[in-house]
Amino acid sequence: MKFFIDTANLDQIREANELGVLDGVTTNPSLMAKEGIKGEENCKKHYVEICKIVNGDVSAEVIATDYEGMIKEGEELAALHPNIVVKVPCIADGIRAIKYFTGKGIRTNCTLVFSPGQALLAAKAGATYVSPFVGRLDDIASDGVELVVKIVDMYGYYGFKTQVLAASIRSTQHIIQCMEAGADVATCPLAAIKGLLKHPLTDSGLAKFLEDYQKVNS
């Protein structure tokens, strides 16, 4: 399973990249706003800065919700850097736009997916990635991981090449569950990725090794 970090914070992206396990980055307008990045040109410059840090796919989201607007923005984003993947919402014009981008060789990430039907349409349109939102489904007492399972099974049955990118990951446990569900990618906060390192037996075992070393080397 590939790891993407879900942030626009350059320091966090650098830290995750230095860990040696980062495969890409996802962003969205909310994450850009959180970092205080305003204006179209500033956002574009920020995407380029991210691409300079990470040797992997970087999802950059269109703001337009109409077909013509998404095409215009998507082509501009794709031209910024070869690693840019155009992130498009799962709405009717978004599916149309994904089909267009697929024909032009522009890679896409269909975002805000909450049902197998939406994932089916995205795959048929040729999306590179489809992003089911695990945490947001959990927030309304639905089962986000179960949606990942259904999409993985459907894509496997029909032979779709679209990769399942589990999004809205809230915890380390979510990562483990999405791994078990067969997701191709999990995009996560840095804390959730680092949480995979934590285990009390690792800590106690290391402490014991160091204690024994000191006994014979002090």
**Cα(82)–Cα(135) distance, rounded to whole angstroms?**
30
3-state helix, strand, coil in the chain (%, to 5): 55, 20, 30
| Dihedral-angle region of residue 102 (phi above 0 means left; psi in -120 to 50 means alpha; beta otherwise) | alpha
Distance from the Cα of residue 200 to its chain's centroid: 29
Alpha carbon distances (Å) from 193 to 8, 14, 28, 117, 140: 16, 13, 19, 30, 24
Asked if 87 is an active-site residue, the reply is yes
- What the block records as the tokens of 187 is 């995009």
Evaluate whether 134 touches 167 at the Cβ level (below 8 Å).
yes
Catalytic residue among 45, 87, 124, 198: 87
Task: Cite the active site residues.
Answer: 87
